[in-house]
Structure 1
């Protein structure tokens, strides 16, 4: 007989998974479709194409769940000091930022530390090693690989076709 998990521990584990509900729903929808009569009538190429698209969406939701989980556990600090030596003592919570990834766009929610007359600091951005613009390292890498092989127009098309991400031509140069 398995050991009983104390109720408070079970509740805490449930809270840890709350950020992943959307990903779980997407996974369940994938399984339900694959087990359906309609899917059983499809050719393998159609199933493969469906999984490419729906699988990217599952990965996007998993990444979003992870980012939401981290945001939930980010605790306010008394202050944050920047490279400029200025302490920022005012904390604004739940500041969103869009991030374009190879799976599609997600939102990073984090704390902003501010001081009047100075730019804000976002420790979560540093922890995640995010760049100043909205493109993830993975998407940048794909763009670099594709643009070394073909034109910028073809790079934009290839990224859109092979990933859940999208990069305008101007940003791919």
Structure 2
């Protein structure tokens, strides 16, 4: 009996704000299989995100900031140009006027809340294939109340203040 060396997986992108979650947007090929995140695919994802952001928050676009980690596709010239065009100077990222610390997963809502929450919820239903997994992820994202999004975003300030008081050291073990 043969067993694959690596499990099948999906790669999802989400935007998280106090006003809700946009996504998931999948990184996939034309046939629906998971695709590597390249600068071109990332920029395509940003375009899909922007259309959803416009549809949901047209009158507030000039108040949104965009924060991302320093992954190579995120900080490619094409991606940074796209972000500057759409968010002007309201970008927090490596290679911008507002750099994001390189190793700070305990400061981002996606990392300290969303991905762990989704894993805890999605796998309770034991998805049997990638289609089930995608459906479960989408369903659980839609079930997160706006009030929860607002609380999670408010937690960012608390975490940032704590990080500053600890001179940038990790803080997961001191949070309560």
Q: Does the alignment reach a TM-score above 0.5?
A: no
State TM-score, norm by structure 1. 0.21
Q: TM-score, normalised by structure 2?
A: 0.21
Between Structure 1 and Structure 2, the one with more strand by share is 1
